[in-house]
Amino acid sequence: MLETSARLLRLLSLLQTPREWTGAELGARLGVSPRTVRNDVDKLRELGYPVLATRGPAGGYRLGAGAVMPPLLLDDEEAVAVAVGLRTAAGGAVAGIEEASLRALAKLEQVLPSRLRARVGGLRSVITSVPGAEGPLVDPDALTAIAAACRVRERLRFWYESYDGSSSSREAEPYQLVNWGRRWYLVAFDVGRGDWRTFRVDRLTLRTPGGGRFTPRPLPASDLADWVSRRVATAGWRYRARVTVFAPTAVVSERIGPYVGTVTAVADETCLLDTGSDSLETMAVYLGLLGYEFRVESPPELADHVRALAERYQRALPGQSGSRPGQSGSRPARSRQ
């Protein structure tokens, strides 16, 4: 006969299958009497599991839906299936559930026996996903390891590739993973540089062993998602610009989106746009497409391109006279690099 605690776990496992069990069937499976089954069912109910019962010859027990999510028991096949599914979701195949999948995957892999972990690894080695066009794919193993380090407050050591292709060795105290669009960012305190940093996870290669435990520091902001979006919005651009836009902040923010830059209110009908680009010519054209009056605050090279573009548009109007394109005075000013 199974001991009480082991018997309860076995009973719970049986009840989690999508069917109804009679007391006699459960008793036969567990090697106990129907009365003991009734007592065990009462104990599960006390623990918060909603075990439903129907009376009569055709009645029996089944696990129903409750007000809260109780712990689930998985057999070997179910655990492998869930782990593979969570890896796929955490890798970005299903938009919108990556973060929840990552948390569940970290919990599951922590308790998987080595034999099941090997099965999951074997399946992963022969499964290939077609990369999406919306962003880089992130290694789920790296996400899982980083999430675990954030949870237990353990330093990470890794190689990091910057936007210009250069690589550097880093040691950092990880605090939070932030999912923005199809990209993952790690908010961490860079020990070597003594400051908070945002690292793109797809540019990060973990090194082992990691560092030791650390004492948590006060976070750089209460809203880490907003903090990351503001830092990422202008990172890696060759040129950065500040432009006053004569329109409400909410309207401009909705128009440009978070990937283009950040908008700060100046007055009810005026805001300041911090943006950037690898091309001043492209930035000058984009500002014209905003649909609102604006004034370039910096850099002066951008103002030169806007002026040249305005003159070119003016000459393009019917009936306008002046130098043809290619003649003196018609070329846009070159940016100083």
Maximum Cα interatomic distance, the chain, rounded to a whole number of Å: 103
pLDDT at 137: 66
Residue among 262, 190, 179 nearest 224 (CA): 179
Residue 209, preceding peptide bond in cis (omega within 30° of 0): yes
| Residue 158: Cβ-neighbour burial (10 angstroms; 0-12, 13-18, 19+) | buried
pLDDT at 153: 92
pLDDT at 307: 94
Alpha helices in 91-206 (DSSP H): 98-111, 114-125, 140-152
| CA–CA gap between residue 176 and residue 219 (Å, rounded) | 10
Model-level pTM?
A: 0.48
| CA–CA gap between residue 298 and residue 325 (Å, rounded) | 27
pLDDT at 18: 66
pLDDT at 126: 56
pLDDT at 116: 77
| CA–CA gap between residue 314 and residue 336 (Å, rounded) | 25
* pLDDT by residue, tens only, the chain of 337 residues: 457 777 887 888 788 776 788 888 888 888 898 889 889 889 888 887 888 888 766 668 888 766 455 566 677 777 777 777 776 665 553 345 566 677 677 767 766 777 777 777 766 655 555 444 455 667 777 887 888 899 889 999 999 998 777 899 999 999 998 877 667 889 999 999 999 999 988 889 999 888 889 999 999 988 888 788 777 766 657 788 999 999 999 999 888 866 677 888 999 999 999 888 878 898 999 898 888 999 999 999 999 999 999 999 989 888 776 555 555 444 444 444 3
